[in-house]
Amino acid sequence: MDRRDYAVAVVGLGSMGMGAARSCIAAGLRTYGVDINPQACRALEAAGGVAAGPDARVFADALDAVLLLVVDAAQVERVLFGEAGFAAALRPGTPVMVSATISPDDARRIHARLEAIGLRMLDAPVSGGAAKAAEGAMTVMASGPAETFEALRPLLSAVAGKVYEVGPQIGLGATVKIVHQLLAGVHIAAGAEAMALAARAGIPLDLMYDVVTHAAGNSWMFENRMPAVVSGDYTPTSAVDIFVKDMGLVTETGRALKLPLPLASTAFGMYLNASNAGYGAEADSAVIKTFAGVPLPKKDD
């Protein structure tokens, strides 16, 4: 199929979804958007999207593929099977790429519901943040039948720099993402703790950031997230409450496998504490605000 004839809907036009949708447009795919935010829908149409709006049923029968970049399993099920759900309006056999961070059990349950109405699913969590999504260079860790991978190949080529084909069983992709999120969540929490220690000791945080990012203690998450601490600007692309959800999935997975996860459990508690303190909607690096009495830069400083 010519890419210009391949039609995809990106559901969830947040920071990553908008980047992925724009990457689809740049790759020459006929791109639709689905979001309840009218401003995001207008932005996608202005960028070259065919159409965008809150109700995918309007164009569902024109689609060759669907990419779901929503927050959690509840949102996945709502957009597919809820009151305005569009799964039943898709053509039989349409592949649905579920890229929310969800549990393996959730992935299997959603797959069973899609399969029951003649649709295919790829269990395909992603990583890379808004910047990689905008570059069409996300990392995809996916599982599902080989024919579903092939049906989604134009979409995968448009949005991903690297696609890991984990295996044929739904749930394997979700499991790999959960292991990944253990590291991501712990790295942010550890970075926040390190910067809190520096602040308490009177070390300028811009200096501390520069040292770490040129030394062995650096991590991708430190380098990507700690500028918010340095600037005092906690405008979210990924919020504290996202990691409340994700680290909850990590600890639940450890419990199900009877494997203690002491670092992940501590980080989970830190995100819960930050959310409980009122920072849940701020950038995930706002977990640093729970260190009492630590002088932190403010946005207007």
Instruction: Look up 177 and say whether it is catalytic.
Output: yes
d(CA 204, CA 198): 7
* Alpha-carbon gap, residue 195 to 294, rounded angstroms: 10
Active-site residue (options: 132, 162, 177, 258): 177
Reference 48, options 32, 64, 60; nearest CA is 32
Write the secondary structure of the chain as one string of H (helix), E (strand) and C (coil). Answer: CCHHHCEEEEECCCHHHHHHHHHHHHCCCEEEEECCCHHHHHHHHHCCCCEEECCHHHCHHHCCEEEECCCCHHHHHHHHHCCCCCHHHCCCCCEEEECCCCCHHHHHHHHHHHHHCCCEEEECCEECHHHHHHHCCEEEEEECCHHHHHHCHHHHHHHEEEEEEEECCCCHHHHHHHHHHHHHHHHHHHHHHHHHHHHHCCCCHHHHHHHHCCCCCCCHHHHHHHHHHHHCCCCCCCEHHHHHHHHHHHHHHHHHCCCCCHHHHHHHHHHHHHHHHHHCCCEHHHHHHHCCCCCCCCCCC
Contact 195, 218 (CB under 8 A): no
- Which residues are known to be catalytic? 177
